[in-house]
Amino acid sequence: MGKSFKAAAVQMVSTTSVEQNLLTAERLIKEAADQGAGLVVLPEYFAIMPQTNQQRLENGEIHGKGVVQEFLHKQSKKHKVWLVGGTHPIMSGTSEKPFGRCYIYDDSGRRVEYYDKIHLFDVDVNDPHKQYRESDYTSAGEKVVTFDSPWGRVGVAVCYDIRFPEMFRKMSKQGVELIVFPAAFTQATGSVHWEVLLKARAIENLCYLVASAQGGIHQNKRATFGHSCVISPWGEELVSKSLGEGVVVSLIDLEEQKKIRTKFPALKHRKL
C-alpha cells in the first residue's frame, strides 16, 4: 500500500449529447491528471443525462463494447490514471432496463472491475420532478464491489447507495481504505443530506471518500446539487466544489489514515 497519492473528483453538468459530454470529461480528466491525480472519479450519468427513456436506450451499450467504454479505456491509458467511469446504461441482456454500471480502468487502460448500482432511487421529492422511479428504467445490481489498487483496497458505491450503511460496512469488512462515489444527487435532497451522509460513511468506516457529482441545471430540467468533494477518515471535508463543472484534487494520506485507525480503533471494536 502506497503512503500517499492524489485523487480527483470531477464535477459535470451533463447534457443529452454523449459527444459533448465526453469532450467535457476529457478536458476535466486532463486537468485532474495535470494536477497530479493518480485516481480520477467521474460522476453518475457523466456521458449522458437523458431527457427520455428512449435516449437512455439508444445510447446504452453492451458489456465490453461501445463509445463510452472505449473512451474510458483511452483516457485512462493516455493520462496514466486510474479512472472510475461514473455510470452509464449497460444492457442487462434479460430486460430492456439497463444497469447503471460503473467501470474502473487502471493506468494502462485495462478494465479491472465494474459495479452495477444496487439501490435504485424510487422516492417522492419536493422539487419540480416530484417523483423519481429509477427502477422503471434501470435494473438493480446485486453485488457489493471492492477492488485492489496500487494504494490499497477501494470500494465503489453510487448515489442512493450512500443511505445504506450496511453496504459500506460490508466493504469495510473487505478491508477498504478508500471509497469512490459517483453521484447525481438532487438539489432538494443534497442540500440537507449530502454532506452529512458522506461524512457519516467516511467516519464510521475510517475511510477516505471521493465523491464526484453532477452540479447544476440539466436539459431535462433536473437540478443536481454538486458539491463534489474529498472527505477524510476523520470526517473533514478536504476540498469541495459547489456548482458547475470542474475538478477538485486532494492528497490521500494513507499513513495518516493508519495512525487514525491505530489511535481510534473503532473498526476493531465492532461486536454485532
Q: What is the mean pLDDT of residues 139-164?
A: 98
Q: What is the mean pLDDT of residues 156-171?
A: 98
Decide if 159 is catalytic: yes
Look at phi and psi of residue 80 and say left if phi exceeds 0, alpha if psi is from -120 to 50, else beta: left
Q: What is the mean pLDDT of the chain?
A: 96
Q: Catalytic residue, from 6, 97, 102, 117: name it.
A: 117
**pTM for the model:** 0.97
Q: Which residue has the higher pLDDT, 220 or 230?
A: 230
| pLDDT tens digit sequence for 227-257 | 999 999 999 999 999 999 999 999 999 999 9
Q: Catalytic residue, from 44, 177, 195, 245: name it.
A: 44
Phi, psi of 139 (to 5 degrees): -90, 140
Count structural domains, the chain.
1
Element (H, E) at 251: strand 246-253
**So what's the pLDDT on residue 221?**
86
Is the pLDDT assigned to residue 76 strictly greater than 70?
A: yes
Is the pLDDT assigned to residue 75 strictly greater than 80?
A: yes
**So what's the pLDDT on residue 252?**
98
Cβ partners under 8 Å of residue 78, min gap 6:
none
Decide if 102 is catalytic: no
Task: Note down the domain range covering 118.
Answer: 4-269
Q: Catalytic residue, from 6, 97, 102, 159: name it.
A: 159
**So what's the pLDDT on residue 127?**
81
Q: Kindly indicate the confidence band of residue 105, based on its pLDDT and cuts at 50, 70 and 90.
A: very high
Decide if 44 is catalytic: yes
The C-alpha atoms of residue 103 and residue 147 are separated, in whole angstroms, by 11
**So what's the pLDDT on residue 92?**
87
**So what's the pLDDT on residue 192?**
97
The CATH number of residue 148's host domain is 3.60.110.10
